[in-house]
């Protein structure tokens, strides 16, 4: 008997312009998260924890670091038959251009998936969200409902719904209306949920909610193949609205932590929230682990430091420093007397040797990391930055300033020191 296939497709997104300059040299799924992970580790881990190990990541911009991360992180033996493959846009006899949207990306790669059986399913996920979801339970509800498509949905307050795909459902959780990214408050108000959704929520209280699509879909293979046999390019704008009234579509209500990390502010706030005593997302859950690359790094060293709420990844060295609500990525180095407050430090790709440190002195170049006596506040320090001695970086009160050729960018009020940038001794950027 032919074994049922469940094929997981992770959408890598486009240029990731809302996350720029963090996406200047890497695609969105490859952006570091929580010290030692990448954004792509979240959906991959949700798939693996559900027993789904046929996973494809679709992307087309700055894929080198993502390729490296996935190759070094996800290795399967010949008995399990699993894979995590990256499929970038390619020229073929049927297509010679970039992906034109989410649906077009899936269409261009259908020949790689092989899910054509009557019982086969496609699970389509976003690559830039932080959440933990039991995808096996989503599939169970999908099968039980007899739906052709299931859309996972998050209840949100009406004031949070602008710019998201919203849906109306009946008492059986069947979708009766879908509106892609409405902006009219009256339209949003008209999509307020009823008791069928409120009964699925842990503590709805008295406020009004609407049901927002999370961009996570379960498709019967036949339905997806037929839907893609058109010139449509996007799931939310075209495929889903086009199936209303033609196919049974149901909602899976998800009332747990979920954060869309599509902007600099969301990335910054999410990373800092992980320093809370009880963070909104638990990386310590043994029953649903978040997987990533296993690095052979030493334990971190904190020498004579003052620390208030920090996440410190492997291989960091902090000497006589002050960390106040900070996230330090792998191999982060903070030199003597430095102060970091509300800082996300992405770390370094390698340690500097004694010879390289001597060369830095001869060239008058700061070592990788944050230099002695420097003060950094409300900032993201990208990989391999060199911040000199007695530097002051504090964007408070300064206007946003970012774009091509900007090494010290301010976006959403957050300072970003771009990858590999050198900030000289005694430099001051302060409002």
Of 121, 122, 115, 126, nearest to 58 by C-alpha is 126
pLDDT in tens, 389-426: 999 999 999 999 998 889 999 999 999 999 999 999 99
d(CA 31, CA 11): 14
Q: Are residues 165 and 79 in the same domain?
A: yes
pLDDT of residue 382: 97
Q: Are residues 260 and 306 in the same domain?
A: no
Quick one: tokens of 298? 């030493």
Say which CATH number the domain at 56 has. Answer: 3.90.550.10
Q: In whole angstroms, how far apart are CA 425 and each of 162, 184, 203, 360, 395?
A: 44, 51, 52, 13, 18
pLDDT band at 128 (very low <50, low <70, confident <90, very high): confident
| Residue 278 is assigned to a structural domain of this protein | no
Sign of CA dihedral 383, 385, 391, 395: negative
Q: 139-148, 154-163, 237-246, 320-329: which range is least confident on average? A: 154-163
Of 386, 415, 349, 421, nearest to 65 by C-alpha is 349
d(CA 295, CA 313): 11
- List, in sequence order, every residue forming a beta bridge with 409; answer none if it has no partner: 416
* Domain of residue 27, residue span: 6-264
Quick one: tokens of 383? 């990989």
How many separate domains does the chain show?
Answer: 2
With a cut of 60, say whether residue 1 has pLDDT above it.
Answer: no
pLDDT of residue 256: 93
Say which CATH number the domain at 366 has. Answer: 2.160.10.10
Of 266, 291, 262, 294, nearest to 280 by C-alpha is 266
pLDDT in tens, 290-310: 999 999 999 999 999 999 999
Q: Are residues 77 and 202 in the same domain?
A: yes
- Mean pLDDT along residues 160-169: 85
Q: Which helix (H) or strand (E) holds 265?
A: helix 264-273
| Residue 283 is assigned to a structural domain of this protein | no
CB 259 within 8 A of CB 131: yes
With a cut of 70, say whether residue 185 has pLDDT above it.
Answer: yes
pLDDT of residue 94: 61
Q: Are residues 224 and 326 in the same domain?
A: no
The more confidently predicted of residues 155 and 92 is: 155
pLDDT band at 92 (very low <50, low <70, confident <90, very high): low
Residue finishing a domain among 264, 290, 313: 264
pLDDT in tens, 236-256: 889 999 999 999 999 999 999
Q: Are residues 24 and 100 in the same domain?
A: yes
pLDDT of residue 145: 95
Q: Are residues 102 and 46 in the same domain?
A: yes
pLDDT of residue 196: 77
Q: Are residues 33 and 161 in the same domain?
A: yes
- Mean pLDDT along residues 184-195: 85
Residue finishing a domain among 205, 238, 264: 264
pLDDT band at 214 (very low <50, low <70, confident <90, very high): very high
| Residue 280 is assigned to a structural domain of this protein | no
| Residue 425 is assigned to a structural domain of this protein | yes
Residue finishing a domain among 215, 237, 264: 264
Q: Are residues 22 and 74 in the same domain?
A: yes
CB 253 within 8 A of CB 201: yes
- Mean pLDDT along residues 249-272: 94
Q: Are residues 254 and 346 in the same domain?
A: no
- Mean pLDDT along residues 64-92: 84
Q: Are residues 13 and 121 in the same domain?
A: yes
Q: Are residues 259 and 310 in the same domain?
A: no
pLDDT of residue 226: 94
| Residue 296 is assigned to a structural domain of this protein | no
Q: Are residues 330 and 252 in the same domain?
A: no
Average pLDDT of the residues of the chain: 91
| Residue 332 is assigned to a structural domain of this protein | yes
pLDDT band at 90 (very low <50, low <70, confident <90, very high): low
- Mean pLDDT along residues 323-339: 97
pLDDT band at 117 (very low <50, low <70, confident <90, very high): confident
The radius of gyration computed from the CA coordinates of the chain, to the nearest angstrom, equals 23
**To 5 degrees, how large is the angle CA 35–CA 41–CA 47?**
150
d(CA 169, CA 143): 18
CB 129 within 8 A of CB 259: yes
| Residue 380 is assigned to a structural domain of this protein | yes
Q: Which residue has the tokens 């199936």?
A: 243
- Mean pLDDT along residues 350-375: 96
pLDDT of residue 258: 92
């Amino acid at each position: 008997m032919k074994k049922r296939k469940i094929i997981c497709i992770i959408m890598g997104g486009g240029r990731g312009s809302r996350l720029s300059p963090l996406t200047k040299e890497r695609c969105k799924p490859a952006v570091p998260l929580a010290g030692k992970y990448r954004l792509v580790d979240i959906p991959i881990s949700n798939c693996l924890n559900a027993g789904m190990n046929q996973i494809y990541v679709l992307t087309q911009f700055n894929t080198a670091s993502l390729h490296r991360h996935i190759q070094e992180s996800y290795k399967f033996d010949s008995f399990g038959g699993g894979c995590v493959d990256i499929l970038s846009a390619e020229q073929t006899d049927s297509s010679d251009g970039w992906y034109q949207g989410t649906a077009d990306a899936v269409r261009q790669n259908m020949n790689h998936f092989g899910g054509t059986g009557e019982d086969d399913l496609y699970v389509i996920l976003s690559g830039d969200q932080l959440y933990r979801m039991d995808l096996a339970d989503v599939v169970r509800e999908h099968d039980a409902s007899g739906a052709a498509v299931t859309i996972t949905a998050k209840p949100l307050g009406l004031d949070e719904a602008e710019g998201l795909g919203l849906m109306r459902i009946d008492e059986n959780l069947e979708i009766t209306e879908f509106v892609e990214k409405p902006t009219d408050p009256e339209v949003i108000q008209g999509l307020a949920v009823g008791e069928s959704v409120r009964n699925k929520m842990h503590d709805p209280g008295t406020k009004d909610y609407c049901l927002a699509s999370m961009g996570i879909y379960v498709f019967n293979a036949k339905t997806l193949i037929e839907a893609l046999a058109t010139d449509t390019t996007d799931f939310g704008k075209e495929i889903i609205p086009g199936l209303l009234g033609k196919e049974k579509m149901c909602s899976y209500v998800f009332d747990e932590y979920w954060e869309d990390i599509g902007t600099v502010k969301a990335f910054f706030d999410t990373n800092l929230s992980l320093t809370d005593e009880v963070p909104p997302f638990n990386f310590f859950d043994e029953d649903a682990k978040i997987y990533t690359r296993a690095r052979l790094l030493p334990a971190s060293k904190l020498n004579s430091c003052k620390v208030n709420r920090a996440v410190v990844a492997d291989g960091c060295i902090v000497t006589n420093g002050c960390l106040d609500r900070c996230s330090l990525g792998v191999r982060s180095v903070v030199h003597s007397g430095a102060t970091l407050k509300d800082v996300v430090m992405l770390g370094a790709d390698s340690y500097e040797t004694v010879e390289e440190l001597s060369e830095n002195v001869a060239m008058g170049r700061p070592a990788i990391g944050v230099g002695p006596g420097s003060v950094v506040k409300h900032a993201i320090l990208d990989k391999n930055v060199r911040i000199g001695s007695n530097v002051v970086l504090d964007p408070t009160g300064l206007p946003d300033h970012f774009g091509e050729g900007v090494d010290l960018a301010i976006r959403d009020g957050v300072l970003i020191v771009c990858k590999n940038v050198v900030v000289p001794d005694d430099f001051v950027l302060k409002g």
